[in-house]
Amino acid sequence: MANPPTFADVQTILFTITASQDDIQERIEIYGRHDAQGRYSWESERELLASIANPYGRGDIPLIPDLPYATMSDADITQKCTLVNKLSPGTDGSDPVMPPLSPATARRYARPDELATIRDWLRTLPYPRGF
User: What tens digit of pLDDT does each residue of 93-127 get?
Assistant: 999 999 989 888 899 999 999 999 999 999 999 99
In the predicted structure, residue 1 carries a pLDDT above the cut 60: no
Contacts of 40-46 with C-beta under 8 Å, sequence gap 24+, read 42/10, 42/11, 42/14, 42/15, 44/7, 45/7, 45/11, 46/131
**What was the pLDDT predicted at 29?**
87
**What was the pLDDT predicted at 131?**
66
pLDDT tens-digit map of 40-60: 999 999 999 999 998 777 899
| SS3 state of residue 62 | strand
Give residue 92's identity as a one-letter amino acid code. Answer: D
**What was the pLDDT predicted at 48?**
97
**Domain map (residue ranges) of the chain:** 7-122
Q: For residues 7 and 47, what is the distance between their CA atoms, to the nearest angstrom? A: 11
CB 94 within 8 A of CB 80: no
User: In whole numbers, what is the pLDDT of the chain averaged over residues?
Assistant: 92
